[in-house]
Structures are given as structure tokens and as C-alpha cells.
Amino acid sequence: MNAPVSSIPAPLRVAIAGCTGRMGHMLIEAVMAADDCVLAGALDREGSPAIGQDASAFLGKASGVAITADLNVGLQGADCLIDFTRPEGTLAHLAVCRALGVKLVIGTTGFTDAQKAEIAAAAQDVSIMMAPNMSVGVNVVLRLLDMAARALNEGYDIEIVEAHHRFKVDAPSGTALKMGEVVASALGRDLKDCAVYGREGVTGERDPSTIGFATIRGGDVVGDHTVLFAGIGERIEITHKSSSRATYAQGSLRAARFLAGRASGLYGMDDVLGLG
């Protein structure tokens, strides 16, 4: 008699880039706590003192996965890589993922247009989910901003204020820029033409067609974003505040599960959440 075939699906094998950073630790913890995922690889930069250590040692338990700087070793056998590093590092990871057929969840921000085009080209061969923010709440806010901008399309000045921890290296944040893009698109504008990223001195009256940005950096702020629609006699503020990176980790795993059934293509969190 033949043995019954198991109906339990194989766990999703997830590799983590930048595994020793704050977000890397949060992602490893989330993967190891998920019933349907297993840690398959842990990548860190060349020369890191953590190379060779167990990736989950910080949790006080062993994963059996050693931290490595060798991309081919770290991605061998992985179904998906989750990457919250820097643009240059992500593009290096992208090339190896493309060659090995490993799907990629990108939470890195600060890409140039040319780098984004490189990612889009790779998506012809492997499935990629790229978003400036993996939070479910932030992506719901993006939908609300589209609705608000269409309704408040005359007589309202638009300003975007974001705050992050002192260690963040890019400004404005990728999330703030995405919010600006959503608002500008809803108004029939191009953010490149109407964004104002700083004001100093005698600036003159505010141009009503512009979208302003203000950036705050300090302490351990995980991420706060507010879009202000300021009219005469009233103002509307749409705000999202993150108190933990756990929401980004859970959103990333949701994205990895979404990619599992897709061979190629470039997707966003709106696709993952069914908001498209």
C-alpha cells in the first residue's frame, strides 16, 4: 500500500539581508515565529564580526543558519529574500536573486530612477515586491490620501511632515515620497515638478500648486508621517505613527507569501493587500 501523500505545504524558505540590524533582527524573529516559514539564509556585510554566528543567537536559541557574506551560500535553497538594506546592497542582492530564481521583497528606500528601472528589468525574470513601507496601515493611508486629494483639489495647501530615528540616512523618507506621489497623481501633477523640500529666508508667498516636505530626525522614532491639507477656516490631517518595526516585519512576510505563487512581475503592497 502506498503511503498517503501529505497535504501540509512545505514551509516558505526565507532569507534575510542585513540580518544583524534592527530590522534584520525583527524579521528573523518574525520568520521563526511563523508556522509557515523557515529561516533559510542570513546575510551580512563582508567583515562583519557576526559572520559565522548563528543568525538567531540574539533570541537565545539556535536556528542552524550561520550568518554569511557569501550571497550564493546565503541564498542557496531560499525561496525568497527580504531586503531592508541600502540601494547598492539591494542591487547586488538583486543580481544574485535573478540568477538563482529567488523571489525578492524590497523594503529598501532611496533608489534613483535608474536603479528602479534596473529592478523593473529584473522583475521580468523573477517576482519582486517593492514598497517604501510594508505596514498594512500605511498602505491603507495611501488609499485614503488618494481619496482626500481628489476631494480637496482646490483651495487646500498640502504639506507632508515625517519623523524618523537619528540613524536614518535618506530624507525625505521613502514613505513620505510615496505619499507625495499618490497625492500629486490624484491632482494630475508630477511630484518632480511640484515638490518643495526646504524653505529658508524670504521665500515669498506659498505657491498653491506645490507639495511641501518637512523632515525631522532624532532619537528612536520608528516612523511618523502626517499629510496636512490646509484650507481657509479648516485643515485636515491624515497621520500614521509606527511604534514598532514588527508591523513592517509582518507586512514583509505577507508579501513573501504573496510572491510564492508568482514566477515573475513587479508588485506593490497594494497588490499584496488587494487594494489595487
Residue 4: what pLDDT? 56
Instruction: Tell me whether the omega of the peptide bond preceding residue 132 falls within 30 degrees of 0, making it cis.
Output: no
265 and 200, same domain (yes or no): no
Is residue 119 a part of any domain in this protein?
yes
Grid coordinates in use for 46?
Answer: 563582508
44 and 56, same domain (yes or no): yes
Residue 6: what pLDDT? 52
Here the contacts of 150-157 (C-beta below 8 Å, separation 24 or greater) are 150/186, 150/187, 152/229, 152/231, 152/236, 153/186, 153/187, 155/231, 155/232, 156/229, 156/230, 156/231, 156/236, 157/206, 157/208, 157/212, 157/228, 157/229, 157/230, 157/231
Is residue 16 a part of any domain in this protein?
yes
Mean predicted confidence (pLDDT) in 82-109: 97
Q: Residue 194 belongs to a domain with what CATH number?
A: 3.30.360.10
Q: Residue 16 belongs to a domain with what CATH number?
A: 3.40.50.720
238 and 256, same domain (yes or no): no
3 — pLDDT class (breaks 50, 70, 90): low
Is residue 97 a part of any domain in this protein?
yes
37 and 123, same domain (yes or no): yes
Say whether pLDDT at 276 is over 80.
no
87 and 45, same domain (yes or no): yes
The total domain count for the chain is 2
The pTM score is: 0.82
261 — pLDDT class (breaks 50, 70, 90): confident
252 and 150, same domain (yes or no): no
Cα first-last separation, the chain: 49
Is residue 228 a part of any domain in this protein?
yes
| pLDDT tens digits, one per residue of 7-45 | 667 999 999 999 999 999 999 999 999 999 999 999 999
151 and 88, same domain (yes or no): no
Residue 61: what pLDDT? 94
Q: Return the HEC string of 107-145.
A: CCCCCCHHHHHHHHHHCCCCEEEECCCCCHHHHHHHHHH
Is residue 1 a part of any domain in this protein?
no
Is residue 7 a part of any domain in this protein?
no
183 and 254, same domain (yes or no): no
95 and 53, same domain (yes or no): yes
The whole-angstrom separation of Cα 59 and Cα 53 is 13
Domain residue limits at 212? 136-242
Mean predicted confidence (pLDDT) in 230-251: 95
| pLDDT tens digits, one per residue of 141-188 | 999 999 999 999 999 999 999 999 999 999 999 999 999 999 999 999
Mean predicted confidence (pLDDT) in 248-276: 94
What distance lies between CA 50 and its chain's CA centroid?
Answer: 24
Is residue 217 a part of any domain in this protein?
yes
Q: Is 30 helix (H, G, I), strand (E, B) or coil?
A: helix
Q: Which residues are catalytic?
A: 164, 168
Residue 75: what pLDDT? 97
221 and 268, same domain (yes or no): no
Q: Dihedrals φ, ψ of 215, to 5°?
A: -120, 135
Q: Dihedrals φ, ψ of 94, to 5°?
A: -60, -45
Residue 2: what pLDDT? 60
Is residue 54 a part of any domain in this protein?
yes
| pLDDT tens digits, one per residue of 181-237 | 999 999 999 999 999 999 999 999 999 999 999 999 999 999 999 999 999 999 999
213 and 268, same domain (yes or no): no
44 and 181, same domain (yes or no): no
Residue 5: what pLDDT? 53
| pLDDT tens digits, one per residue of 121-143 | 999 999 999 998 899 999 999 99
Residue 9: what pLDDT? 78
